[in-house]
Amino acid sequence: METYRAAGFPCPLYTNPADHLPDVITPSKRDPSAKHNEAIVSPKQQAITDKAITAAQTPITIDLNMGAHKRLAQMANLPLNPIWHKRVLAYFTAKIIADTLVQIPVPIIFSCVVYFIVGLQPLPGKFFLFMLFMALCSLAATSLALMISALCKTANMSVTILPMALEVSRLFGGFFLSPANLPKYFSWLDALSYAKYTYVGVSLNELQGLTLSCADASTSTCIPNGETTIKQLGLDYINIGGCIGALLAFIIFCRFIAYLGVRFLKN
């Protein structure tokens, strides 16, 4: 708030500072000084620009026409009613491949930013393992959504059930309720949570081999290494390989059920 006031743009009362920021950095249309900032294009400059655009249109048009004719010639050789055209497996396989190729870059970029901002161990092996878990977690969430949408008959039903499934996976993901403190009657929900395997795998990846300094500790309850935290939270009931295997099995199972739903339940 002091920063806004010092800059000459005090935040109004009962206004969110985050909402006030776009109003501050956006120039007002009523400000007469803003007109002077606009570039004035002379008729001569406009004529030069139009001439350059006209000259560039010819090769672009030729390239587009040649590409279109080439693609039409290739499509003419395709059969009218190929066997694979109406098969569910062909459609489902193409959808899975296309969605995966689009989805993979997102967790990779996320890992490259978050890993170093958080300050995790700067080791190449641990970094790429963290990236792998982020990718598997993203694919698992997408697989769960795909399975539910394939099993539900209407879109309204799927958007009602999916948030509930995601919330259960989040609540039993290990962050809010560690495996050591989990009641036995909730163990089956814990086993079905894909977020739990991601959380445990990332935690084991970071805490194993981690040494902490207790020199500046203000209390006597200092944790000297990551192994202590692993035992306290009960994260040692499964290893990193088991977490990766569980996530892969979850992805394969959900996508197989989704295929069956598309094959037998959808028209």
Give the C-alpha separation, 134 to 140, whole Å. Answer: 10
Note down the domain range covering 152. Answer: 87-264
* Structure confidence by residue, pLDDT tens digits, 19-31: 878 887 776 655 5
Which of the four pLDDT bands, split at 50, 70 and 90, describes residue 36? low
Q: Which of 78, 99, 134 is the last residue of a domain?
A: 78
Judgement on whether residues 95 and 223 belong to the same structural domain of the protein: yes
Question: Tell me, what DSSP letter sits at residue 85?
Answer: G
| 223 and 181 fall within a common domain | yes
Q: Are residues 118 and 171 in the same domain?
A: yes
Q: How confident is the model at residue 39 (pLDDT cuts 50, 70, 90)?
A: low
- Indicate the average pLDDT of the chain: 84
Q: Per-residue pLDDT for 195 more than 80? A: yes
C-alpha distances in angstroms, 158 versus 70, 153, 192, 251, 262? 42, 8, 19, 18, 14
| Structure confidence by residue, pLDDT tens digits, 92-140 | 888 899 999 999 999 999 999 999 999 899 999 999 999 999 999 999 9
Clarify whether residues 191 and 215 are in a common domain.
yes
Residue 196 and residue 222 share a domain:
yes
Phi first, then psi: give them for residue 9, nearest 5 degrees: -130, 75
Tokens linked to 187: 């163990």
How many structural domains are present in the chain?
3
Domain boundary among 59, 78, 97: 78
Same domain, 50 and 31: no
Q: Which residue has the higher pLDDT, 98 or 2?
A: 98
**β-pair partners for 225:** 211
CA distances 10 to 3, 5, 34, 129, 196, Å, are 8, 4, 21, 46, 45
pLDDT digits (tens, 9 = 90+) for 208-257: 988 887 776 666 677 888 888 899 888 988 999 999 999 999 999 999 99
> What three-state secondary structure class fits 209?
coil
In single-letter form, the type of residue at position 243 comes to C
The larger pLDDT score, comparing residue 126 to residue 90, is at 126
User: Residue 169: CB partners within 8 Å, gap ≥ 6?
Assistant: 141, 144, 192, 193, 194, 195, 196
pLDDT on residue 220:
64
Its pTM stands at 0.67
* Distances 113 to 53, 122, 200, 202, 208 between C-alpha atoms, Å: 40, 13, 21, 16, 22
How many angstroms separate the CA atoms of 133 and 141, rounded? 12
105 & 29 share domain = no
- What pLDDT, on a 0 to 100 scale, did the predictor assign at position 22? 80
Q: Where are the alpha helices (DSSP H) in 9-123?
A: 17-25, 43-76, 88-103, 105-118
Q: Which residue has the higher pLDDT, 244 or 264?
A: 244
Beta bridge partners of 211: 225
- Indicate the residue type of 121: Q
Please report the DSSP string for 156-197 in residue order. Answer: HHHHHHHHHHHHHHHHTSSSSS-GGG--GGGHHHHHH-HHHH
The verdict on 138 and 221 lying in the same domain is: yes
40 phi-psi bin (left φ>0, alpha ψ -120 to 50, beta other): beta
pLDDT for the residue 2: 77
CB atoms within 10 A of CB 134: 20
What pLDDT band is residue 85 in, cutting at 50, 70 and 90? Answer: low
Distance CA 188, CA 43 (A): 74
Same domain, 148 and 201: yes
* Whether residues 54 and 155 fall in one domain: no
